[in-house]
Each structure stands twice: as C-alpha cells, then as structure tokens.
Amino acid sequence: MPARCLVIQVLACDTTDAMRRAYLAADPRADVVELRLDLVRNLDLDRLLSARGKPKLATVRSRQQGGGARPADREALLRRALEAGVEYLDLEFGEHDQALLKGQGRARRILSYHDFNGTPADLQALHREMRQDAGEALVKIVTFADAASDLLRMRDLLRSAAPGSLVAFCMGAKGIPSRILAPLWGSAALYAPARGAADSAPGQVPLEDLFDLYRVDRIGPGTRLLGVLGFPIGHSLSPRVHNAALGALDLDYRYLPLEARTMAEFLPLLSELRLSGLSVTLPHKETILPHLDALDDSARRIGAVNTVIKIWNRLEGFNTDAEAGVAPLRSRRTLQGAHAAVLGAGGAARALVHGLMQEGARVTLFNRTPSRARDLARSSGARSLPWSRLRGFRADVLVNATSVGMAPDIDRTPVPASWIASPVVYDIIYNPAETRLLREARARGAEVIGGLEMFVAQAAAQFELFTGRAAPLEVMHRAAQGEQPSPPARRRRR
C-alpha cells in the first residue's frame, strides 16, 4: 500500500462514552480516527475530544447528507471541533462550508461528496468542480455502485488525480472491491469501521478484514485478482475461505466478491480487472458459458461451470461441484451400486446427479416441478418419481439439492420429518451449517452430513485450479466455520 494512503477508522457510536472508549481502543493500524459526531445522542464534545490518542477527524453529517445532525447545529459543532484542535475536519461539498474550508485552524480539511443513490455520470466533472473549491483540502468522492462497472469509473478517476489528493471508492455490495483496491488505485485514504462496530455506510469492510483477510497493505501492481461472481453475493463465504487459504500460503492473490446481476454488467470487469480466475455462482453458472473459450469434461456434461481460469485472454470453464458434491459421501461409504434419492432438479441437483452417476450410484429424483425432474432424469440416466412417492421412501442416502431450508428461511424443510426413511441424509445447504432437515433426520437416528464439507471441497478444487498449489484444507475449513483470520505474520515486503 502506498505510504501516503491514510487508514481512517470510522466510529459511529451513539453515546459519548461508547465513542470515547472506542477511540481509546482504536486499531493500532489506523492512522486517524473519524468521529461521527452527528450520531452521538448525548454528545459531550469536550469530554470526547479531551481523550488523548490517534489524530481525530471530526465529521458532522446533516440529515440531508444521510447523517443525524440538524443543519442548524452542524456548523457550530464543526467550529467547536476545529477550535478544540482536531487534526482533520470533514466538510461537505455543496454545503455552505466555505468559511470553514478556508478559515483559521490547523486541521487538515477533507471536502467530501456522498451519493447514496448512484454514481454520477460525469465523475471527472464533479472532481474538477470540487477541486476548484477545495484549495489545499483533500477531496473525497464516495458514491453508491449501481453497476459493477462503476468500480472501473472510480478507478479511472483515482488514476487521473494528482497523487495523494483524492479519496474515492464506491459504497454498496457492488462497491466492495473498490474499498479493497482503492489504495492501489491511488486513493489518499481508506475508511473502515472495526469488526462488530456499527456500520455507517453500506458495503463497509471491517478494518480487521481489510488487513488480515485482504492484506490490503501488501496489494501491489503485481497482485493477481480472483473473485466470486454472483448475485447477490453479500453472504458468500468464498472470499473468507479463499483469502484465508491464500494468506496462509503467502500467495500474492486477492479474492474479491464481485456482484453483478447480469453477464453484460460483469463483462467490463472481466476484461479490465487483473482477474486470473473466478468462482461462478448463481445466477451465472450457465449464462457465462457463451463467453468461455473451452470447457472441461465435467462442465460440458453438466452444462454449467462454477470455476473460470483466465490465461492471457483465454477463458476456460470447469465444474468442481460434481466431484465436490460426492466427496463427503465417498469418504464414508462406497457409492458403487448405492441407491441415492435426490431432491431437486436445478443446477445444484444436476451437478450432484452427474457426480453420483459417475461413481456408479443408482439415482432416483424427486422435484416439486415433475417435468424438471423428468428432464434431468432423461439427460443423466437417473429415474424420477412423483414427489408424493417420497413418503417413507428408503434409499441408502437421501440428498437435499433444493434451496429449501437455506438462510434466511431456516425454519423450512423440503420433507416432513415423518417421511424420512433413509439411514444417511445429506444436505448440500451450508448456511445454516445444520438445516432443519438434518436436525430432524438426526433425531430419527439417521447419519447426517452438512453442506460445509461440499463447500470446502469445491473451494479447495478451485484453489488448486487458480494457484496450482495444494489447498490448505484445515485453514479453509476453519474459515468456513467462521474463524477469523489472524494477522498475517510480518514478512519481507515483496
């Protein structure tokens, strides 16, 4: 990370005491602590500002600016903070802050612009206008990423600005990569709350994650990027699991959440970011096919990919789902000749059925929409039965490949408990780790297998395709179970 990129820890506490405590406990990696004064209900400014510690940035957003201050109180509060000697002062572009911007006081000014609804069409024009007002102040432009390509516009803006003069990134789920890459692109600062602290803007990445997971201080021009493409992607475990593994092996890759609703939206990122591989999830596992130059056997048979490798400009598609889907079963029993009942006929079911057939299992499909089950049966060589036949149906293993029971609908289950008759029940849902189906199957004496095993197996196979290195399975398992990464050991800078 360029030395000039300030790390600003954002505090959005609602009481003076809480903010004072948080300030005194600021992350050692923060250079500056931003105090969102407008969010404190019982503000005792003297008490807060008398705390000794990191340089302070005083910020007061009015209600029109997405904050909590009455416009009438805002300027007075900023002025008092300035007089009390804060080191940085946030002023809002377009407000009547001219007097504060150019006035007395040694605080470094930051002239900021926030758009919580979108990214203006002409960012360069906005920047020019702000620069004219800003004088010596840092300019900060933060907008909501409506489309994935807004990231590229933010990158281009940063690259065109004088070094150290502009802070810029995008908010929202689609903006997350810009929070991680902004220092590389030349942003003069990054903003992050501590983990578990109140958020003050959408898409914030905790400071601990920026450093311990994304190793933001060691991203350089040679860093290769990976990511998970999907919609929505906010709750994906993949960035956590892959970055933990990359960090454990000290590999100079970073794995980003890349949210895009359509392939058309994503294509500019594919060609312009330094991506060397992708995990692909819903809804793009099939829609990405026309954009690929080659497919492996598994992807071709299943008609969907979950992994893409980019070598120069050639895109190769793979599917690690089938192999990963059967791995948790195969490690417990032989599948040759075993009888599996599979619920579902979507993409996940298709990969699983192919994996099971490949292992020599006999598969019976059940699906809410019978025609989809029949189609999958026909193309895979399995058989299908009507949903009603599931009652008391005994196979060696019952597999749930529907989305029923997945968070947030964790109280749902695809089959009534009394229908479960198979001795092994496997649910490929990994969130929650134990679904209602598994809980009920366990209570009926079945052996149960949760989806985290499959998740880690497919991620490990992807990791090996991405990096050519053996995946650190233990690390990936622990990350999938929610263990936080520890700070990377201080290593020689590359």
User: Which positions are annotated as active-site residues?
Assistant: 114, 140, 285, 321
- Sole binder of ligand ATR in the list 349, 382, 449, 465 (CB under 6 A): 349
For residue 263, how many other CB atoms are within 10 A of its CB? 16
x-marked contacts with ligand ATR along 390-429 as a string, rule CB under 6 A: ------------xxx---------x---------------
- Which residues 6+ apart lie within 8 Å of 128 measured at CB? none
- State the minimum distance, in angstroms, from the CB of residue 428 to ligand ATR: 9
What string marks each residue from 270 to 289 as x (binds ligand ATR by CB under 6 A) or -? Answer: ------------x-------
- Pick left, alpha or beta for residue 363 (phi over 0 → left; psi -120 to 50 → alpha; otherwise beta): beta
223 or 403: whose CB is closer to ligand ATR? 403
Closer Cβ to ligand ATR, 2 or 283, answer by number = 283
Cα separation values, 44 from 58, 99, 105, 124, 287, Å = 14, 24, 21, 40, 56
Query: Is-contact 186 166, C-beta < 8 A?
Result: yes
d(CA 107, CA 90): 10
Nearest approach, Cβ of residue 115 and ligand ATR (Å): 34
Q: Which of 369, 418 has the CB closer to ligand ATR?
A: 369
Considering only residues 246 to 265 of the shown chain, the ones binding ligand ATR according to CB under 6 A are none
Q: CB–CB of 241/463 below 8 Å?
A: no
Q: Judge whether 84 and 106 are in contact, CB under 8 Å.
A: no
Is 347 one of the binding residues for ligand ATR (CB under 6 A)? yes
Binders of ligand ATR in range 123-142 (CB under 6 A):
none
**For 212, phi and psi rounded to 5 degrees?**
-85, -30
Q: Which stretch binds ligand ATR (CB under 6 A): 50-58, 187-195, 321-329, 339-347?
A: 339-347
Strands (E) across 178-336 are located at 189-193, 224-230, 253-259, 275-280, 294-295, 307-311, 314-318
CB of 80 to ligand ATR, least distance (A): 55
For residues 169 and 158, give the distance between their C-alpha atoms in angstroms, rounded to a whole number.
9
Residue 344 engages ligand ATR in binding (rule: CB under 6 A): yes
> Do residues 47 and 18 make contact, with C-beta atoms less than 8 angstroms apart?
no
Measured from the CB atom, is 207 or 349 closer to ligand ATR?
Answer: 349
Nearer to ligand ATR, 30 or 304 (CB): 304
> Does residue 368 bind ligand ATR (CB under 6 A)?
yes
Name the closest residue to ligand ATR (Cβ). Answer: 346
Residues lying near ligand ATR in the complex (CB under 6 A): 282, 344-349, 367-369, 372, 402-404, 414
